[in-house]
Structure 1
Amino acid sequence: MQLITPKAFHPIFLFLVGVSGVFCALYGSLVLASLFVAYVLYGWYMPKCLEYLANQIDVRLVETTRAFRDDELAIPFALENRARFPLGKVTVSGLLGDQVRIDGAGSQFWRHHLFVGKNQIVPFEIDVIAAHRGTIRIQSFDVMISDPFHTMTVYLTLPIQQLGHVFPDFAPASVEWNERQIPGETVDRSSPFTDRSSFHSVVPYAGDAKTIYWSAYAKTSELYSYQYDRVRNHDYAVIIDGLSGDGLSLRSDFEKLLSRGATIIRELEKQGASYSLWISMVNRDGQWYHVPSGKGKEQFLRTMECLARLSEYDLPLERRYFMKRLQRAVPSTTAAIHLGHRQKEVSA
């Protein structure tokens, strides 16, 4: 909070005016003395009143905004006056980050003038256009209130910094339906999608030796085959490794990699699949960028927000440590979708 008053209301000047008022009351005009006393009282108590009113102001973000690039959006706020006195004209201003732009403006600075009464909540919005992927931040958020004669001003700086997210673009990518491999329909017996615990029915032998029901053959001397219902796999892990091949720096096409990840997440959402997100990055607090497995609209928003939160201030996670974490955390029955660098596997 910062209070700005003119030099005419400096305590020493007010003291001199008060002394002059006393002399006028004793030896001069009472009207002039009354004006001097009113001036002193106004200059002494009005700053305290403005500070009190500033402490009764609260501005909050009504809803976190989400958008894609070039979308028009309105960031909603609400200014609340808890005092029993009207504030009159209140100026709210700030400086937005580079993730959004103000249409028709040459800078990121914005300003609103509001008329606030006593015990009143006044809504207002900031109309912007999404410009770049990332977290929508506001670098400064100030509220300015003045006295009735606009001679004193109080500047109140608010702590609101994060307003929403701009999601990454969708790059060309596709995810085919991954059907669970069952006996008689796969050659790879070590597939994590194999389920040999139950079968639907028994049918005459169809020509695949892996589907033979040997117990029925032992009893009837006729060949029969298992028949299963084809069940689609609904568990995926989207893994984004943003490091280069040597593991010492980020890939030059990291933004494109995130866009491909966003496209895959969108396709998985359309399929109604369950999926998780794993990114080889940590933020400044040491927290790993990871979204647990889930599905539905809320899961889609969580994963897209995770992609939007990545910034130049984050640190890459060492690839060896990242792969160990994946081996321990990702279930073997989950279909892994790797984006970025993938180590070559050698099998005997």
Structure 2
Amino acid sequence: MTRPIRSHFFNAAWFYGAGIVLATGMILGQAALSLLAALVYVTAGLSWLWARHALDGLHYSRKLSETRAFRGDVLTVFFTLENRSWLPLAWVEIDEHVSDRVRALNVTRLPSDRLGTRLLRHTTPMRWKYRISWSTELECLERGDHQIGPVTIRSGDPFGFFTRQTTINDVESFLVYPDVRPMPELNIPPDFPFGLTRVNHHLLTDPARVIGVRAYTPDDSTRHIHWKATARLQEPYVKVFEPTVDLQAGIFLNLDTFERYWEGMDFRRSESGIVAAASIAHHLIAERSIVGLAANAVVAGSDQNLRIPPGRDARQRTSILEGLARLQPMAISSFPRLLTSAARDYPAGSTIIVIACIMTEPLEIAMQSAIERGHRVMLMRIGEVPVPNLPRLTVASLPDDLAHRDRTTRHRYARTVQSGMVN
């Protein structure tokens, strides 16, 4: 979008005044007055034409070194400005909008009229048929889906009388993952239910591997009834599954930080819960475990709770990290209800990992229900959270400042400028 040429010096009074001076000089025969008035018109006209074509030959581009990063990482943005015309420009000003949740190293960020952004300004002269390149490093301060762009380019005549401005609505996004920190002594059982290792005793079973049938008992799920055998033998029979030692884990993230919504949000603890979920998922998938994720909050651009089905490959780790990166740190639904419904997707013997900043009676009931259905329930509490008196409940305590701890690595800033003639 290109705006009309703007004058910073000349206005209607200048032209009316120059016309009066020109007429007076011609009537009185004063060549100096006429020459002065003509000089005003010529200067204004040439400056306007210069500004009118100042942006015609400019070509601007940018490129991100990475589109995925972790909090604290440093990305490099490469910029290129090229003047493809024969018109030299005394000055070109470039204002690049960038998320205010990243920090430009050794470059001053200016205020912006766009919510949630700051300006990176670069000013340079441009000869004809000329190209200049530079780079800026951005330190990722917070997780989230960040953007760079749009960009505004201004230029004009050499005297600064007139300027022309254009806005290029080219926006690039880059995703910043939450921290993945080493989680000491997780105490998570190493056996996962949908694995490939056979055992001689039936710890857990894999529903994908049927090895026979047996008579139905009241403790069996109706989902496991073998209908063909039941019809043939005229009494209910259920499938017998092959046992495995792998266990399926579901990570359930509760972003409620107060019992009542009107009490507000404790973003410190909610962000720590997100870091804990990312760290646990990363650890379990690295051990080739089957992991799923659910949270009572939405990701940016959606109105549904975050739910990621179980998986174990590298794509599952990416899906979980991307979901947590885009997750809004505010609860929108009942976590106990989410836990009760989503835990049914995990077979008996699975580990249910509950990450919570508070403990309520409905949540305690939901965890008790999961235990009664045969799940192994682990409570990862963020901060001082009361421990419910539940049988077979494993409890681990995590600090409430996981998301705000300093990283041990430091990055050195480097900024380069290159220029040269355009071939």
> Under TM normalisation by the shorter chain, which class is it?
0.5 to 0.7
Q: Give the corresponding residue for 1:255.
A: 271
Q: For residues 51-87 of structure 1, what are the alpha-carbon distances to aligned partners after superposition, in whole Å with 9 as ceiling and x for unaligned? A: x649x76555545543333333323445576878565
Shift of the alpha carbon at 1:240? 1.6
Q: Which moved more, 1:79-88 or 1:37-46?
A: 79-88
Task: Evaluate the alpha carbon distance shift between residue 261 and residue 160 of structure 1 in structure 2; reply closer, same or farther with a 3 A threshold.
Answer: farther
CA distance in 2, matches of 1:299, 1:85: 53
1:42 to 41, 46, 53: 46
1:6 aligns with 2:8: yes
The answer as to whether partners of 1:180 and 1:194 remain within 8 angstroms in 2 is no
Question: 2:251–2:355: 8 Å Cα contact kept in structure 1?
Answer: no
Among 126, 144, 147, the alignment partner of 2:136 is 126
Q: 1:340 is matched with which residue: 355, 362, 372?
A: 355
Give SS of 1:70's match: coil
Tell me which residue corresponds to 1:73: 75
Correspondence for 2:103? 101
- Do residues 240 (structure 1) and 253 (structure 2) align? yes
Instruction: Tell me the distance in 1 between the aligned counterparts of 2:8 and 2:107.
Output: 32
For residue 275 of structure 2, give the secondary structure of its aligned residue in structure 1.
helix
Among the aligned pairs, what percent are the same residue?
18
How many angstroms apart in 2 are the aligned matches of 1:272 and 1:115?
56
SS in 2 for 1:169: coil
TM-aligned CA deviation for residue 273 of structure 1: 4.5
**CA, structure 1 residues 340+130, in 2 after alignment: closer, same or farther (shift >3 Å)?**
same
Amino acid paired to 1:101: R
Give the distance between the partners of 2:349 and 2:125, measured in 1 at CA.
Answer: 57
In 2: Cα distance, 1:345 partner to 1:68 partner: 36
Q: Which residue of 2 aligns with 1:308?
A: 325
Query: Does structure 1 residue 143 correspond to structure 2 residue 166?
Result: no
Pick closer, same or farther for the CA change 1:282–1:230 going to 2, 3 Å.
closer
Instruction: Find the aligned partners of 2:26 and 2:259 in 1 and give their Cα distance.
Output: 87
More displaced 10-residue stretch of structure 1: 277-286 or 26-35? 26-35
Amino acid at match of 2:135: E
- Structure 1 residues 114 and 293: alpha-carbon distance in aligned structure 2, compared to 1, 3 A threshold: farther
Contiguous gaps of at least 5 residues in structure 1: 200-225
Count of residues in correspondence between the two structures: 312
CA contact (8 A) 2:254 2:331 kept: no
Q: Matched residues in 2 for 1:298 and 1:196: separation?
A: 24
- Between the aligned partners of 2:150 and 2:280, the Cα distance in structure 1 is 36
> Per-residue deviation at 1:302?
3.6
Residues 76-116 of structure 1: per-residue CA shift (max 9 Å, x gap): 44557687856564232356545333445676664323455
Q: TM-score normalized by structure 2?
A: 0.56
Return the alpha-carbon distance in structure 1 between the equivalents of residues 252 and 6 of structure 2. 54
Q: What amino acid does structure 1 have at the position aligned with 2:293? A: L
The separation in 2 between residues aligned to 1:131 and 1:153, in whole angstroms, is 36
Q: Deviations over 1:128-166 (max 9, x none)?
A: 333333344569854332322233334545556664233
- What are the superposed Cα offsets for residues 210-245 of structure 1, whole Å, 9 maximum, x if unpaired? xxxxxxxxxxxxxxxx9x795645x65433222258
* CA distance 1:178–1:106, shift in 2 (3 Å): same
Structure 2: gaps of 5 or more residues: 111-118, 213-239, 357-362, 374-423
Q: TM-score, normalised to structure 1's length? A: 0.65
Please give the alpha-carbon distance, in whole angstroms, between the structure 2 residues aligned to 1:268 and 1:21: 85
Q: Which runs of 4+ in 1 moved over 6 A?
A: 22-26, 80-84, 117-121
Change (3 A) 1:147 1:304: farther
The code of the aligned residue for 1:259 comes to V
Q: Pick from 113, 118, 121 the counterpart of residue 123 of structure 2.
A: 113
Question: Residue 160 and residue 331 in structure 1: after superposition, are their counterparts in 2 closer, same or farther (change >3 A)?
Answer: farther
Letter of the aligned partner of 1:307 in structure 2? L
Partner of 1:90: 92
Residue 136 of structure 2 aligns to a residue whose secondary structure is: strand
Amino acid at match of 1:75: V
| SS state at 2:53 partner | helix
Distance in 2 of aligned mates of 1:83 and 1:180: 66
Q: Secondary structure at the match of 1:265?
A: helix
Which string of whole-angstrom CA distances, capped at 9 and with x for unpartnered residues, describes residues 157-199 of structure 1?
5556664233222342545543448674235xxx564666239
Q: Secondary structure at the match of 1:150?
A: coil
Report deviation, 1:319.
Answer: 2.7
With over 3 angstroms needed to count, the CA separation of the structure-2 counterparts of 1:96 and 1:320, relative to structure 1, is same
Q: Mark the CA change 1:21 to 1:92 in structure 2 (over 3 Å): closer, same or farther.
A: same
Q: CA deviation at 1:306?
A: 2.3
Change (3 A) 1:139 1:77: closer
